Chain A
Amino acid sequence: MAKTVVLPREPLSLSERTYLPQIVTGLKTTFSNMFKEKVTLQYPEEKPIIPKNYRGVPTLVKDPNGREKCVSCQLCEFVCPPKAIRITPGAVSEDDNSRAHVEKAPKEFEINMLRCIYCGYCQEVCPEEAIFLQEEYSSSGYSREEMINKKDKLYELGGTLPDSHYKWDKKKSAEDDGNDH
């Protein structure tokens, strides 16, 4: 164990005991601070710079061909700690050429922004890379209903993100010209 060393304390001089020099030093410090650059961000006019990997409002994204990526596996609904996500799964009709091989798509997708805690688990868990927390951070509305983001709104907020896999396209090409019977 380290030994406790008691440092001797210098007795205060008379001027120090009046505290007046210290007060003057303090006054100097505060005065000089008045002329330094201000750090306030004038919010609605000036927006903060959003860092990379910022977790804003959760959104649904489409692939570069404009097709929805979500297959309504409901993992995000499962993992969501505040239970903000609600998905009604649906089937893709067999006539839909671009998506028929995916079979499943959300019929309705709701994220309750009053419940969402922006934890990003949904993005992390998504096996299809369909849900992303993007830069948008300010959402407001006049009623509770308005604060529930429906599927349309989610796709509008999400836009299109690049896709490095095209998983379902690969599957389709295998089906079209692969080891078929």
Chain B
Amino acid sequence: MLDFELLFLVGLKVLFALLMIGAVMTMAGYSVLAERKVSAWMQGRVGPNRTVLPFVEYIPFLGPYLKKMGIFQPLADGLKFLFKEEIIPGHVNKFYYNLAPIVALVPALTTMVVLPFGEFFTSDGESIPLMLADLEVGILFILAISSLGVYGIVLAGWSSNSKYPFLGSIRSSAQMISYELAMGLSLLPVFLWVSEPGTGAMGLSLVDIVHSQGNAPWLLLVQPLSALIFLIALFAETNRLPFDMPESETDLVGGFHTEYGGFKFGIFFVAEYAHIVVGSAIFTIIFLGGWHFLPWVADPWPSTWVGTLIGIGWFLAKTIFLIFFFIWIRWTLPRFRYDQVMNLGWTKLLPLALLNLIFYVLLVTWIDQPAS
């Protein structure tokens, strides 16, 4: 006996999942382009402006513009990775060496399962969030899965059997563990704040976090310190400069992926940017009001499918700005030294997050005390 409705639902979810993967991967690919373009502009250069599809160049105005912006560059880069010779160095542990890029990419893509990116209104006016799986413990899922990404890096470094990847992976795991703590602690006050006492229904759902910011102040404004700690930890978790420990090409050649080339390196590369995309989305959801318009302002768009589309667009705009922010930071700040990273994580961010938590616990307790 087959439950056709379930099959249909599963099929639909798979289709959505594929669409979402496509969207995230495309964004990751174009983040690479954005990185190259933005860094070029900041350095007085022009960036990639040569790649173009056949004949596109002859489209008046648009064609040359697309070429100038390097729109087709990610396509060419991807093809290049695909067609490069797959070299497996003789000294590596082949199984784990091949496994590592997959382990690095999968968590980056899995976290997006619980990401809400918009809401849809039924004819009854009921709001249905747009996401693959509306988990009650969304944020826990994200914290759990995203920290699995370090396994890819550790595996790559270890299986490469070579000193630089090994150092890179050790640094990476130490860094992950250090900043995971601060990250988790910085989120606790947020959920404390959002869970209103008495209602009881509020949990760790990301949808509820977004809803709580509709027509209300964004949590960035309510809990700026939490947002700052989370942002810094996010940089560390995504291995972005100034926390570029595992790669640190100036002292570790290529870090954990020194021994990788071709498509396997491409996967690492994409995974890194997928992390950034997903990370930006999470920050948008938790601190920037998700798809809601502005703090204290009700969404000006109608509660129809048009509103849904505008909402998604608004959400994307915020995410893209954050991606830009990631890039912006990278080309502004120099890399920390390894000991500075550890120092910042353990002696600055962790106590700060704890104090922040204690402060909000007391504050929320004070606010929540029954008016007697």
Contacts and interface: CB of A to CB of B under 8 A. Distances in A.
Contact of B328 (A27, A36, A37, A39): A27
A30 B241 CA distance: 15
Interface string A1-45: 000000000000000000000010011011101111111101000
A30 B46 contact: no
A23 B38 contact: no
A34 B42 contact: yes
B332 interface: yes
Contacts of B45: 38-40
A98 to B, nearest CB: 51
A33 B329 contact: no
Contacts of B198: none
Nearest to B330: A30
A31 B328 contact: yes
Given A23-B332, A23-B333, A30 B44 contact: no
A34 B332 CA distance: 12
A30 B44 CA distance: 10
Contacts of B44: 33, 36-40
B43 interface: yes
Interface string B21-64: 00000000000000000101111111000000000000000000
Contact of B332 (A26, A40, A42): A26
B304 to A, nearest CB: 37
A40 B328 contact: no
Contact of A26 (B40, B41, B46, B333): B333
A37 B43 CA distance: 10
A42 B45 CA distance: 10
Contacts of B333: 23, 26
A177 to B, nearest CB: 66
B208 to A, nearest CB: 31
Given A34-B38, A34-B41, A27 B329 contact: yes
Given A34-B38, A34-B41, A29 B46 contact: no
A33 B42 CA distance: 5
B72 interface: no
B43 to A, nearest CB: 7
A29 B43 CA distance: 11
A40 B46 contact: yes
10 contacts: A23-B332, A26-B332, A27-B332, A30-B42, A30-B331, A31-B328, A33-B42, A33-B43, A34-B38, A40-B40
Given A30-B328, A37-B44, A40-B46, 5 more contacts: A27-B328, A29-B332, A33-B44, A34-B38, A34-B41
Pairs A-B, 4 closest by C-beta atoms = A34-B41, A30-B332, A26-B332, A40-B46
